[in-house]
């Protein structure tokens, strides 16, 4: 072969090699990136080419469905049963605007594309059966969710309820909410509904139970009580403390006001009952920032990886504040911030004798034929306090409900522990305060439910906004619903 032909042959060979390398690069290395690009409409078309599997709540009740879409290359559109009530659980799956929460995180199962459904897809190719998505079975209790949603009503707020024994989430409500069905398609009507929600000042699309943090106010005093007992600052909850009246924040000349009377030298038990700011600020200062931080973090604060499986925002206990900031944080103010889920975890750990179970809301995922593909096993997350100290805090929380600020949560024949909170916020605390209530119910069979409620805004006058008056009735309704469901 002469030299020119040899050069041409080598050049052509290099071109073929480059083509093979490029093809393999695209098919194997970049395949995942290309298939998941937003610009690749074929992925979305395939996503809605078959009926999605369902999200299911307690008792086997599906809260989602699919209908045929007319005049679109997306064959099926998502539908929702009681959409506004369940939106904080399901999220949304929209042909035009993507998906969130369980609809997004469990998309592989729901569309039937998950690797665990490979066998089902293969069999379907030979039998001619239509492709179907699998199902996501949640831990949600329909009665508890309805009680939470209807009790919140037109108030802006959220509820999180947990089974302390397992960590299973029983209710997750957020108001004002939205109906995912209104923008599940890709029509002009869907776009109009989406724009209205996206630009809403009420932040309807935000899951307040998981994705909004608030100053927890006096509900955080339960954490401070736990820290005081665990670190030996207090051993007898009925013994007098050395709290002066008035109490001056350490290192300042600022007096910390009490909204209760009889707080001077009050015991920890009585101070929680009437919610003395001075006692818990004093106790928090004696525990010290680092040990307060240690206890708060065992309850879940500062953890930015609490996935249920939707990731909750991290609740915050400041790591760098001074003594005065720590004293204020000990009563749930200053920079302290918590999600409703976090405060339900606090109540849950206390109710479960000091053992905090990791919260979760997917019990299992199943194939279209209902074969179980994966089951969640309850998992211990931490031990914020010993059983003996947890029982002391239980005693204090029961006192709050029986004789203190939380009497609105009493249930005949059931032991209920709780803590109210009214959290100030805004510049110079000028905005309407947040109303909080955390609680648990306990029977002779154990504690089946712990609840946290926050009312973010209310039409009530400022002086009438209290955790006991606004939030406790919501928690009561949720606890009753769970207890009735227990039989």
**Three-state DSSP string of the chain:** CCHHHHHHHHHHHHHHHHHHHHHHHHHHHCHHHHHCCCCCHHHHHHHCCCCCCCEEECCCEECEEEEECCCCCCCEEEEECCHHHHHHHHCCEECCCEECHHHHHCHHHHHCCCHHHHHHHHHHHHHCCCCCCCEEEECCCHHHHHHHHHHHCCCEEEEEEECCCCCEEEEEEEECCCCHHHHCCCCHHHHHHHHHHHCCCCCCCCCHHHHCCECCHHHHHHHHHHHHHHCCCCCCCCCECCCCCCEECCCCCCEECCCCCCCCCCEHHHHHHHCCHHHHHHHHHHHCHHHHHHHHHHHCCCCCCCECCCECCCCECCCCCCHHHHHHHCCCCCCCEECHHHHHHHHHHHHCCCCEECCECEEEEECCCCCEEEECCCCEEECCCCHHHHHHHHHHHHHHHHHCCCHHHCECCEEEEEEEEEECCCHHHCCCCEEEEEEEEEECCEEEEEEEEEEEECCCCHHHCCHHHHHHHHHHHHHHHHHHHCC
Q: Are 335 and 153 a contacting pair, CB within 8 Å?
A: no
Catalytic residue among 94, 99, 174, 218: 218
Catalytic residue status for 278: no
Q: Are 466 and 420 a contacting pair, CB within 8 Å?
A: yes
Torsion of CA 59, 62, 63, 69, to 10 degrees: -170
The β-bridge relationship of strands 55-57 and 135-138 is parallel
Active site residues: 218
């Amino acid at each position: 072969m002469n030299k020119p032909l040899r050069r041409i042959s080598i050049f052509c060979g290099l071109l073929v090699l480059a083509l093979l390398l490029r093809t393999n690069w695209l098919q194997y290395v970049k395949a995942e990136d290309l298939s998941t690009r937003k610009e690749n409409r074929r992925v979305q078309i395939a996503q809605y080419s078959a009926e999605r599997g369902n999200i299911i709540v307690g008792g086997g009740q599906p809260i989602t469905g699919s209908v045929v879409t007319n005049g679109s290359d997306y064959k099926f559109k998502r539908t929702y049963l009681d959409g506004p009530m369940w939106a904080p659980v399901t999220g949304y799956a929209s042909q035009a605007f993507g998906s969130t929460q369980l609809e997004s995180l469990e998309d592989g199962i729901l569309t039937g594309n998950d690797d665990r459904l490979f066998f089902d897809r293969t069999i379907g190719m030979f039998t001619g059966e239509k492709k179907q998505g699998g199902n996501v079975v949640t831990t949600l209790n329909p009665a508890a969710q309805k009680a939470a949603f209807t009790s919140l009503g037109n108030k802006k707020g959220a509820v999180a309820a947990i089974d302390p024994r397992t960590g299973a989430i029983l209710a997750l409500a957020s108001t004002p909410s939205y109906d995912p069905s209104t923008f599940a398609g890709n029509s002009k009507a869907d776009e109009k509904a989406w724009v209205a929600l996206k630009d809403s000042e009420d932040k309807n699309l935000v899951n307040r139970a998981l994705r909004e943090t608030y100053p927890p106010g006096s509900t955080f005093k339960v954490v401070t009580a736990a820290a005081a007992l665990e670190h030996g600052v207090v051993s007898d909850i009925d013994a007098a403390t050395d709290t002066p009246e008035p109490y001056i924040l350490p290192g300042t000349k600022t007096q910390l006001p009490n909204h209760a009377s009889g707080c001077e030298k009050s015991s920890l038990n009585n101070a929680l009952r009437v919610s003395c700011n001075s006692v818990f600020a004093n106790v928090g200062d004696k525990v010290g920032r680092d040990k307060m931080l240690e206890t708060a973090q065992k309850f879940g604060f500062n953890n930015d990886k609490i996935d249920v499986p939707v990731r909750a925002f991290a609740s915050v206990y400041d790591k760098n504040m001074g003594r005065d900031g720590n004293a204020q944080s000990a009563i749930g103010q200053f920079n302290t911030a918590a999600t409703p889920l976090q405060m339900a975890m606090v109540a849950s750990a206390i109710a479960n004798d000091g053992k905090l179970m990791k919260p979760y809301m997917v019990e299992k995922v199943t194939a279209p034929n209902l074969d179980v593909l994966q089951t969640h096993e309850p998992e211990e997350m931490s031990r914020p306090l010993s059983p003996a100290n947890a029982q002391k805090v239980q005693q204090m929380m029961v006192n709050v409900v029986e004789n203190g600020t939380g009497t609105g949560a009493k249930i005949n024949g059931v032991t209920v522990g709780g803590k109210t909170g009214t959290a100030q916020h805004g510049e110079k605390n000028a905005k309407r305060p947040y109303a909080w209530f955390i609680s648990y119910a306990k029977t002779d069979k154990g504690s089946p439910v712990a609840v946290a409620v926050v009312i973010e805004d209310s039409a009530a006058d400022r002086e009438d906004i209290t955790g006991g008056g606004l939030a406790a009735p919501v928690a009561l309704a949720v606890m009753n619903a769970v207890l009735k469901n227990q039989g």
